[in-house]
């Protein structure tokens, strides 16, 4: 399952870090953060609860970049 | 400017004012510490600790969020981020100033100030270009006029169901794909194809969303939902395109990941090793000098310029392409496109129009117009493609020019305004007899018309003249007398030759035609447009195997593109390094199968796409070399003590600003 979310982040390097952090979150199969369009494509593992996973993703992203926001 | 940016701007301005005031005050009331005694010779009551506190005010105003982020970063074990680096560098500088009691707090504040200014500029520039590029690509219609019993309602295009009637006024965009049920107008497809060629449409014609209605009011019955319409599909594709990252983008993210820690450890080594070596060798260790140099190192270590400018360049390149009617599905394809050395292309529909048209009338013993009229009438009841092209040629009212040498007539389409409306008066046709595989025999205006191939002529006992041209030859005999022949062939696109020349000029070594057509036809087309090699009489699977063979022969540094119309060459499109589909307007199959989609069927766009990609990649490399070069230079100068923190922060912020400005050049379209 693939979903796209709007994000808010200030710098391109932070976007890269968010991508890394998202990829490492359990339940996420793959993720791409697009700094230019401020969007995040997340591919979830089979049967993952996307809301719960996204909460974790946001938590992990906040760890690497305090200033970021994901709208889900 | 966003709220955040405005707030930052205020902080920057306040800090600048405070710093100026403090500087004047310091000149008046404070003096540097005596290096020998370590005491300040203040002329007034303001002493060193007071200066320290006063300077900390602007420092905290400008840098408090950086300090906070750095602290949080340490807590989250994200040590090597730029906040941490800036915090350490500036706090270190303040520390040195405190120890030396020389009142040099300006530097720390200034470094923080420049850093924040740079960040503000970056966020502003990126935000602005993001909006600009998005606006450029924005072909999204914002409303649809749904026809109701009393007039029309303006609704969200998303709410319009398939089969509804919508009204499009002059100046509006067609929001949803459909068919015209009433009205007649001229459409501008410029937003989709990049070429503002007006196209006239009337009742019964299919229209696609994204075109701008220019002249008349039309009513359209929608054939799709908004989400399935051409315009939504294209937007989807473009918006997701920069998510497919190129190798250079991935290289930069990896580079950034290693660069910062390496520079940090380098800084640590620079702070510790030389003083220790100096101490061991019995010299003065000069701790503060080396620590200061190490801190300078940290300021340079931010990889921002690279990390921001590379994706921005790709984004701008893709945006520029889409403005020209060239959709690039990802940065990776843009990168591949720049390396293309071999272009294999389909003939029919790619280099030729793919529709059979009357391309000449030869040896006619009566007027060309007359001959065509009789032929069109004789064929007026047939639906065979050849009959259709003969009828079309007559109805189009072609202008015939006679080649003086050969006496052959060559047709030309009349200009839009000069088209005379013609009709076929079928009552003039008395009887038609179709002879399968041969042609037709008809009686028109009481004359016996025989229209067909050589077999028919033989059958009718008419001696005919052979034709040496490519294509299908239709001989015409009137009352048993040979009256000439009409040649019907696939016409080479007007820009085909120019396209091949432009591709060669853009660095393509070999242009190859792959076609299922006969060798004779393929070779004559190939020769005319100037391709390097022709493979003819191929089955679809042969095309795949030839492309595979070509792929195995080429080096890693070059790439192979296949250009097709996307209808039956999907396997080849996906096998090639870059699959280019053309004439995609209205064809979903092509949009799906290809990596690069040319919205109209102009082959010149292939060269244009290559030119865009090459320009984009040149900017990418410029930025990579420029940014890394300046940083390395500053690191070296920093090590030997030739730069200070001021220069370092200029190197960091300045490089970033220049790289961003350079990246935006990718938006401008190169000429081919």
- Same-domain status, B392 and B481: yes
CA proximity to A41, closest of A61, A22, A62: A22
Chain B contact present for A23, CB below 8 A: no
How far is Cα B449 from Cα B466, in angstroms, rounded to an integer?
Answer: 19
> Which of B240, B272, B290 is the endpoint of a domain?
B240
> Across the interface, which of B73, B122, B307 has its CB nearest the CB of A16?
B307
The answer to the question of residue B122 being in a domain is no
Question: Do B444 and B565 sit in the same domain of this protein?
Answer: no
Please state, in angstroms and as integers, the Cα–Cα distance from residue B35 to each residue in B47, B62, B101, B103, following that order.
Answer: 16, 30, 8, 12
Q: What is the pTM of this model?
A: 0.78
Q: Could you tell me if B487 and B526 lie in one domain?
A: no
B549 assigned to some structural domain: yes
Inside any domain, residue B334: yes
Number of residues in chain B: 672
Q: Rounded to an integer, what distance in angstroms lies between the CA atom of residue B525 and that of residue B516?
A: 13
Contacts of B530 (CB under 8 A, 6+ apart): B497, B500, B501, B511
Q: How far apart are CA B361 and CA B32, in angstroms?
A: 99
Residue B578 sits in a domain of what CATH number? 3.40.50.1000
| Pair (B553, B467) in one structural domain | no
Check CB contact of A24 with chain B, cutoff 8 Å. no
User: How far apart, in whole angstroms, are the C-alpha atoms of residue A59 and residue A56?
Assistant: 5
Q: What local confidence, expressed as pLDDT, does residue B513 receive?
A: 92
Q: What CATH number corresponds to the domain at position B207?
A: 2.70.150.10
**Structurally, how many domains does chain B consist of?**
3
Count Cβ neighbours within 10 Å for each residue of B27-48 and write b for 16 or more, e otherwise: eeebeebeeeeeebebeeebeb
Contact (CB<8Å) B78/A63: yes
Helix (H, G, I), strand (E, B) or coil at A64: helix
Same domain, B390 and B512: no
Q: Cβ contacts of residue B548 below 8 Å, gap of 6+?
A: B575
Residues B423 and B347 in one domain: no
Listed residues B567, B594, B612: the one ending a domain: B612
Structurally, chain A folds into a number of domains equal to 1
Cβ <8 Å between B134 and A64? no
Q: How far away is chain B from the Cα of A34, in angstroms, using its nearest Cα?
A: 6
Interface contact flag, A13 B242, Cβ < 8 Å: no
Torsion from C-alpha of B160, B162, B165, B166, nearest 10 degrees: 40
Tell me, what CATH number does A65's domain have?
A: 3.30.70.100
Catalytic machinery residues of B: 346
State which residue of chain A sits closest to B126, comparing Cα positions: A36
Q: Do residue B487 and residue B603 come from a single domain?
A: no
CB contact under 8 A, B315 and A36: yes
What pLDDT does residue B606 have? 92
Which residue numbers in chain B have pLDDT < 50? 42, 44
Q: Exposed e or buried b for every residue in B563-583, given b needs 16+ CB within 10 A?
A: bbbbbebbbbbebbbbbbbbb
Interface test with A, best of B4, B68, B123, B307 (most A CBs within 10 A): B307
Look at residue B471 and give its three-state secondary structure. coil
Residue in B72, B239, B303 closest to A37 by CB: B239
Residues B207 and B149 in one domain: yes
- Asked whether the beta carbons of B59 and B80 are under 8 A apart, the reply is no
> Of B240, B255, B284, at which residue does a domain stop?
B240
B426 and B503 fall within a common domain: no
CATH of the domain at B451: 3.40.1110.10
Instruction: State how beta strands B559-564 and B165-168 pair.
Output: unpaired
- Distance, CA of B651 to CA of B635 (rounded, Å): 10
Boundaries of domain holding A53:
2-71
State whether B347 and B391 are in the same domain.
Answer: no
CB < 8 Å to B123, chain A: 10-11
Residue spans of beta strands (DSSP E) within B15-149: 144-148
Tell me: do B340 and B368 sit in the same domain: no
pLDDT of residue B416: 63
Element (H, E) at B572: helix B570-575
Phi, psi at residue B374, to the nearest 5°?
-60, -45
Tell if the CB–CB gap between B72 and A66 is shorter than 8 Å.
yes
Structure tokens, B207: 């229209």
Which domain does B549 fall in, by range?
Answer: 326-351+493-612
Q: Is the dihedral of CA B504, B506, B507, B511 positive or negative?
A: negative
**Does an H or E element contain B491, and which?**
strand B481-492
User: Would you say residue B565 lies in a domain?
Assistant: yes
What does the pLDDT read at residue B32? 54
């Amino acid at each position: 399952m693939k979903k796209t979310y709007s994000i808010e982040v200030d710098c391109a390097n932070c976007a890269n870090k968010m991508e890394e952090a998202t990829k490492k979150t359990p339940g996420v199969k793959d993720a791409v953060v697009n700094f230019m369009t401020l969007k995040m494509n997340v591919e979830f593992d089979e049967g993952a609860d996307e809301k719960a996973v996204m909460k974790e993703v946001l938590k992990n992203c906040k760890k690497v970049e305090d200033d970021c926001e994901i709208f889900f | 400017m966003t709220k955040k940016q405005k707030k930052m701007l205020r902080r920057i301005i306040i800090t600048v004012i405070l710093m100026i005031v403090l500087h004047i005050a310091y000149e008046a009331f404070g003096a540097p510490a005596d290096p020998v005694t370590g005491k300040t010779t203040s002329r007034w009551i303001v002493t060193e600790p007071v200066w320290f506190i006063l300077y900390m005010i602007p420092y905290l105003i400008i840098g408090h969020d950086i300090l906070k982020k750095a602290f949080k970063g340490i807590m989250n074990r994200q040590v090597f981020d730029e906040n941490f680096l800036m915090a350490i560098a500036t706090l270190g500088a303040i520390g040195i100033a405190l120890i030396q009691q020389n009142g040099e707090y300006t530097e720390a504040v200034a470094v923080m100030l420049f850093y924040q200014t740079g960040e503000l500029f970056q966020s502003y520039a990126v935000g602005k270009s993001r909006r600009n590029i998005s606006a450029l690509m924005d072909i999204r219609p914002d409303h649809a006029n749904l026809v109701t019993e009393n007039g029309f309602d303006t609704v969200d295009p998303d709410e319009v169901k398939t089969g509804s009637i919508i009204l499009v006024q002059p100046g509006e965009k067609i929001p949803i794909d459909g068919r015209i049920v009433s009205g007649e107008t001229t459409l501008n497809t410029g937003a989709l194809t990049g070429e503002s060629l007006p196209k006239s449409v009337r009742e019964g014609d299919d229209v696609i969303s994204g075109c701008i209605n220019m002249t008349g009011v039309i009513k359209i019955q929608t054939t799709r939902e908004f989400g399935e319409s051409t315009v939504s599909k294209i937007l989807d594709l473009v918006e997701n395109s920069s998510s497919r990252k190129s190798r250079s983008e991935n290289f930069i993210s990896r580079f950034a990941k290693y660069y910062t820690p390496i520079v940090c450890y380098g800084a640590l080594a620079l702070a510790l090793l030389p003083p220790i070596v100096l101490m061991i060798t019995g010299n003065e260790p000069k701790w503060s000098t080396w620590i200061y140099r190490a801190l300078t190192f940290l300021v340079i270590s931010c990889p921002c310029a690279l990390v921001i400018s590379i994706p921005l360049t790709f984004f701008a390149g893709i945006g520029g392409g889409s403005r020209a009617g060239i959709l690039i599905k990802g940065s990776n394809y843009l990168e591949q496109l720049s390396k293309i050395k071999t272009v294999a292309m389909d003939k029919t529909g790619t280099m030729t129009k793919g529709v059979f048209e009357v391309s000449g009338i030869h040896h006619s013993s009566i007027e060309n117009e007359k001959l065509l009229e009789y032929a069109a009438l004789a064929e007026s009841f047939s639906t065979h493609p050849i009959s259709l092209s003969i009828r079309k040629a007559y109805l189009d009212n072609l202008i015939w020019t006679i080649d003086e040498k050969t006496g052959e007539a060559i047709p030309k389409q009349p200009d839009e305004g000069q088209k005379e409306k013609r009709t076929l008066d079928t009552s003039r046709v008395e009887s038609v007899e179709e002879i399968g595989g041969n042609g037709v025999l008809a009686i028109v205006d009481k004359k016996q018309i025989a229209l067909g191939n050589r077999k028919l002529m033989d059958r009718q006992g008419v001696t005919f003249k052979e034709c040496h041209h490519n294509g299908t030859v239709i001989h015409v005999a009137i009352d048993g007398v040979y009256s000439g022949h009409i040649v019907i062939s696939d016409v080479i696109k007007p820009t085909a030759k120019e396209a091949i020349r432009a591709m060669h000029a853009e660095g393509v070594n070999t242009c190859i035609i792959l076609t299922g057509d006969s060798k004779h036809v393929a070779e004559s087309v190939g020769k005319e447009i100037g391709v390097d090699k022709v493979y003819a009489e191929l089955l679809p699977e042969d095309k795949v195997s030839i492309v595979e063979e070509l792929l195995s022969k080429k080096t890693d540094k070059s790439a192979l593109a296949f250009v097709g119309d996307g209808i039956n060459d999907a396997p080849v499109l996906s096998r090639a390094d870059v699959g280019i589909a053309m004439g995609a307007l209205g064809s979903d199959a092509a949009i799906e199968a290809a990596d690069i989609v040319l919205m109209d069927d102009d082959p010149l766009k292939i060269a244009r796409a290559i030119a865009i990609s090459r320009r984009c990649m040149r900017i990418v490399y410029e930025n990579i070399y420029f940014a890394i070069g300046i940083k390395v230079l500053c690191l070296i100068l920093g090590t030997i003590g030739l730069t200070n923190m001021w220069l370092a922060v200029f190197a960091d912020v300045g490089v970033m600003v220049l790289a961003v400005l350079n990246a935006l050049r990718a938006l401008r379209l190169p000429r081919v």
